[in-house]
Amino acid sequence: MLTVKWDRESFYLQLPAPSTPLRELRSLIAQLTHLETDGFKIIHSGAVMKDDNAPLSAYRLRPNASITIIAHTPLSEPLQLNQTPNLRTEQTVLSLIQAELANVRRDLTPGVEAFLVQQQPDQSPAVTPQFEEQEKEHTRLGELLLQSLLRLDGIIAEGDWEHARRERKAAVKEVQTLLDRLDERWAEIQKH
């Protein structure tokens, strides 16, 4: 997962392979933001990522990294706040929702399913290493699912974007159901 911050917006993308050239990431960001590919700077850890031919590994991008996008403003045309176009479209919002849900399905659902079938400790829960491992895994999965719910909650679909609103509602329900099942199983494990 890669967090892309642009003005007041945040996008979440699948982090491309380390050997991917920066120009491919730039192109993907340009598609999402509707900016020209050369119309913005990409900043990671305070440094401008300039060489579009360099692989992403050269910039030390890791999973859960965050980059910032700064759009170029032409000097001949001063920016006027009341003239900035709304660059968010329903398709962009749908892409964000689908990307978040795909990440949950790929990264968290298998872990939750594995947690649900775990055996309960034979002894009192508080004294076994198995219980401590289960507790850590429950906490980790629960926190990641909550973060996903918060990201989905932050995706705002305009009033007339019915499809995006339905997709967001379905995604929230799916993630919330996973969290509920995880917590129910944890309650069962704690009883023994």
Give the residue with greater pLDDT, 119 vs 115: 115
Task: Report residue 112's pLDDT band, with 50, 70 and 90 as the boundaries.
Answer: very high
Distance CA 5, CA 2 (A): 10
Please enumerate, as own/partner, the contacts of 94-97 that have beta carbons within 8 Å and a separation of 24 or more: 94/163, 94/164, 94/167, 95/32, 96/11, 96/12, 96/155, 97/152, 97/155, 97/164, 97/167, 97/168, 97/171
Q: What is the CA radius of gyration of the chain?
A: 21
Does the pTM of the predicted model rise above 0.75? Answer: no
Identify the residue whose tokens are 């305009």: 158
**Domains of the chain: residue spans and CATH:** 2-82 (3.10.20.90), 90-191 (1.20.58.120)
Q: Across the chain, what does the average pLDDT equal? A: 82
User: Is the pLDDT assigned to residue 122 strictly greater than 80?
Assistant: no
pLDDT in tens, 159-171: 888 999 999 999 9
pLDDT of residue 102: 92
Q: For residues 9 and 175, which has the higher predicted lDDT (pLDDT)?
A: 175
CA–CA–CA angle 172, 174, 179 (5° rounding): 90
- pLDDT band at residue 110, thresholds of 50, 70 and 90? very high
Q: What is the pLDDT of residues 50-86, one digit of tens each?
A: 899 999 888 888 888 889 888 875 443 444 434 334 4
What pLDDT is attached to residue 179?
A: 92
Mean pLDDT computed over 77-102: 69
41 to 18, 47, 101: CA distances (angstroms) = 20, 10, 28
